[in-house]
Amino acid sequence: MEGERSLTYHTVTLGPLTRSGLAQAEIADEHASGTGEAPISRPRVVEVPAGLPGERVTIAIEEPVPSARRRRARRQAPPRVWISAIHEASPLRVPAPCPVFGTCGGCQLQHMRYDAQLAWKREVVVSLLCEVGGFDALELREIVRATEPCDVPWHYRNHMRFSVNREGQLGLTARGSHGVLPLSSCPIAHERINTVLGVLARHVNPRPQVLVRCGAATGQVLMQPAPAPEVAEELSQAGIEVHTQAIEERLAGEIFRIRPSSFFQTNTAQAEKMARLVIEGLLQDRAVVSVGASSLGQSQALPKPALSERRPVLADAYCGVGTFALLLARYAARVYAIEESPSAIEDAQWNLRQVSNVEILKGKVEHLLPTLAGQLDGLVLDPPRAGCQEVVLEALLQHPVTRIVYVSCDPSTLARDLQVLCRRQTTYRLLSVQPLDMFPQTSHIECIAILERQA
Ligand SMILES: C[S@@+](CC[C@H](N)C(=O)[O-])C[C@H]1O[C@@H](n2cnc3c(N)ncnc32)[C@H](O)[C@@H]1O
């Protein structure tokens, strides 16, 4: 009936996790037979937040209210599902510290032991590389490394975008809805962001959103919009001097300026490891640099380049504020840094102001890389979640580059692009894929893949 919600309870054994980190549960769904006889029972799979494979649980399912708009669009909203009782818990289950875990759209895995999160992430990568990438499961055993853990898998996020509800309360949005869950702290936000959140929770905040960023290594805090004077005063008493235009962050011994809308890696400690993996992946065999796995995560300047070799010509495609370009400059004859966002370009120009061998190319990678690829010895690709455009991959097939390091925040588009580069054509060989836990407690997976041109 229109406007009435239906709520049912089912006791089930939970199946595997989806790639979004939700447990699958099969239930029997009853439909009217249409003949006036007994209803027909059909199996249906629902996705259960905060569940783990093999657990015996009772789940509550609240069907959405059918709206005329959705009926016209022939689109049914997913039901709201939650665990109402756990009868047999998985040995992988741990208490989730966040009171809104399971309801909040931010985290999916707080209830899972951290070592199991890491193992699950590797499995997701392997299965996508098999199913989408067309790679053989046996060869992937060697190629896909164990997920690189985050040393402290809490309070790592240096960037949070909070939503503000009609009452001016700040929070994160509930899973599958626009409803705001008011918060005064978040267990994955950096402690300085939580200090800000604690102060803002006592005030009526401007809608629709408040962005808070902090330099994990510098301690600087940026807010947008700028806080009202009385809020700024309270923040100052809490030890936070607010920046509104840009902050600085230190990574691998270099300082980067970051403006509010420029991309910067969300987890500074893991970004440091990533930077080392990128440099190592691109240059290791050139005897230009040796950055062993043992040095991962050490917050110090990168090693000096050897002087013996011809220095390579490199490109940092989708370069953001110039992170990899700046770190690679000392090892290269020339680095081309490609970026389309005006804000990130402005930051990159500042961050690269003291290096003379980096050229910033403003525009889309798909427009600029095809004419550049033929000159390159090495390339970093770090696209957004959508992965690389077909024209970018085509250019890399037409003009093979000796080494490519592909940094990906979505293993499904990584697998799709690797299929083109290494399987549809065998122009490149996949040397390694290193999952790196940039986003602990969530289902997001970051990977660094290293490709070599086939002889
Ligand atoms: C995942 S971020 C990587 C940034 C940088 N490599 C880093 O580690 O900080 C992707 C970047 O690509 C830029 N971008 C997205 N689509 C692009 C395109 N088609 N051409 C050029 N840049 C693009 C975004 O503005 C963003 O800065």
pLDDT tens digits along 170-204: 999 999 888 999 999 999 999 999 999 999 999 99
Amino acid present at 263 = F
| pLDDT for residue 2 | 46
| pLDDT for residue 287 | 43
**114 Cα–ligand 1 center, Å:** 29
Evaluate whether residue 102 is within a structural domain: no
Evaluate whether residue 43 is within a structural domain: yes
| pLDDT for residue 294 | 37
339 is in an annotated binding site: yes
Do 307 and 361 fall within a single domain?
yes
Strand partners, 430: 451
CATH of the domain at 317: 3.40.50.150
CA distance 108 to 127: 19
Evaluate whether residue 175 is within a structural domain: yes
Please tell me which residue in 214, 319, 409, 447 is annotated as part of the active site.
Answer: 409
- Which domain-ending residue is among 258, 285, 303? 258
Evaluate whether residue 181 is within a structural domain: yes
Q: What is the CB neighbour count within 10 angstroms for residue 254? A: 16
Do 252 and 365 fall within a single domain?
no
Q: Which atom of ligand 1 is nearest to the CA of 383?
A: 10
Helices 229-237, 191-200: inter-axial angle, 10-degree rounding: 130
Which helix (DSSP H) or strand (DSSP E) does residue 221 occupy?
strand 221-224
Report residue 136 as tokens.
Answer: 């053989």
According to DSSP, residue 285 is labeled: G
CA distance 253 to 274: 14
Q: What is the CB neighbour count within 10 angstroms for residue 302? A: 20
Q: What is the pTM of this model?
A: 0.92
Q: What is the CB neighbour count within 10 angstroms for residue 184? A: 14
Protein residue whose Cα sits closest to atom 11 of ligand 1:
318
| pLDDT for residue 303 | 60
Evaluate whether residue 107 is within a structural domain: no
CA distance 192 to 156: 10
Q: Which atom of ligand 1 is nearest to the CA of 262?
A: 27
**341 Cα–ligand 1 center, Å:** 8
Do 36 and 125 fall within a single domain?
no
Protein residue whose Cα sits closest to atom 9 of ligand 1:
264
| pLDDT for residue 291 | 43
According to DSSP, residue 106 is labeled: S
According to DSSP, residue 412 is labeled: H
**334 Cα–ligand 1 center, Å:** 20
**Which one of 259, 263, 335, 365 would you pick to mutate in the ligand 1 pocket, going by the greatest count of ligand atoms within 8 A of its CB?**
263
Do 302 and 390 fall within a single domain?
yes
- What helix, strand, coil percent values describe the chain, rounded to 5? 25, 30, 45
Do 219 and 279 fall within a single domain?
no
Report residue 153 as tokens.
Answer: 């898998």
Do 230 and 85 fall within a single domain?
no
* Residue 185: exposure state from Cβ atoms within 10 A (0-12, 13-18, ≥19): middle
**152 Cα–ligand 1 center, Å:** 27
Going residue by residue through the chain, which has 455 residues, state the pLDDT in tens, using 9 for 90 and above. 445 678 999 999 999 999 999 999 999 877 655 666 766 778 899 999 999 999 999 999 998 877 666 666 666 778 999 999 999 999 999 999 999 999 999 999 999 999 999 999 999 999 999 999 999 999 999 999 999 999 999 999 999 999 999 999 999 999 988 899 999 999 999 999 999 999 999 999 988 999 999 999 999 999 999 999 999 999 999 999 999 999 999 999 999 999 999 999 999 999 999 999 999 999 986 544 444 433 444 455 566 665 556 899 999 999 999 999 999 999 999 999 999 999 999 999 999 999 999 999 999 999 999 999 999 999 999 999 999 999 999 999 999 999 999 999 999 999 999 999 999 999 999 999 999 999 999 999 999 999 999 97
Q: What is the CB neighbour count within 10 angstroms for residue 13? A: 14
Q: How many helices (H) and strands (E) does the chain have?
A: 11, 20
**Residue 362 near ligand 1, beta carbon < 6 Å:** no
Scan for tokens 């003009």, then name that residue: 399
331 is in an annotated binding site: no
| pLDDT for residue 289 | 44
Do 411 and 317 fall within a single domain?
yes
CA–CA distances in Å: residue 47 to residues 15, 61, 113, 212 = 10, 10, 20, 32
Q: What is the CB neighbour count within 10 angstroms for residue 323? A: 29
**Which one of 259, 268, 314, 340 would you pick to mutate in the ligand 1 pocket, going by the greatest count of ligand atoms within 8 A of its CB?**
340
> Is residue 314 helix, strand or coil?
strand
**Residue 256 near ligand 1, beta carbon < 6 Å:** no
Do 238 and 276 fall within a single domain?
no
425 is in an annotated binding site: no
Asked if 87 contacts 57 with a C-beta cutoff of 8 angstroms, the reply is yes
In angstroms, the first-to-last Cα distance of the chain is 66
Amino acid present at 377 = D
| pLDDT for residue 163 | 96
Q: Where are the alpha helices (DSSP H) in 284-374?
A: 323-329, 342-351, 365-372
| pLDDT for residue 310 | 85
Do 82 and 191 fall within a single domain?
no
382 is in an annotated binding site: yes
Evaluate whether residue 127 is within a structural domain: yes
Evaluate whether residue 2 is within a structural domain: no
CATH of the domain at 191: 2.40.50.1070
Scan for tokens 């836990």, then name that residue: 437
Asked if 253 contacts 300 with a C-beta cutoff of 8 angstroms, the reply is yes
| pLDDT for residue 297 | 45
Structure confidence by residue, pLDDT tens digits, 300-351: 556 666 555 689 999 999 999 999 999 999 999 999 999 999 999 999 999 9
Protein residue whose Cα sits closest to atom 20 of ligand 1:
364
Do 295 and 418 fall within a single domain?
yes
| pLDDT for residue 185 | 95
- Which domain-ending residue is among 230, 258, 286? 258
| pLDDT for residue 162 | 96
Do 247 and 345 fall within a single domain?
no
Evaluate whether residue 109 is within a structural domain: no
**Annotation marks residue 422 as catalytic:** no
CA distance 181 to 203: 15
Question: How many domains in the chain?
Answer: 3
Asked if 417 contacts 393 with a C-beta cutoff of 8 angstroms, the reply is yes
CA distance 45 to 27: 6
Give all strands of the β-sheet with 334-339 in edge-to-edge order. Answer: 358-362, 334-339, 313-317, 378-381, 403-408, 446-453, 428-436
Strand partners, 450: 405, 432
CA distance 227 to 208: 14
Do 219 and 128 fall within a single domain?
no
CATH of the domain at 65: 2.40.50.140
CA distance 436 to 296: 11
**246 Cα–ligand 1 center, Å:** 18
CA distance 436 to 100: 26
ipTM of the complex: 0.99
**Residue 413 near ligand 1, beta carbon < 6 Å:** no
- Give the structural domain span for 12: 7-93
| pLDDT for residue 249 | 97
CA distance 446 to 455: 29
Asked if 329 contacts 305 with a C-beta cutoff of 8 angstroms, the reply is no
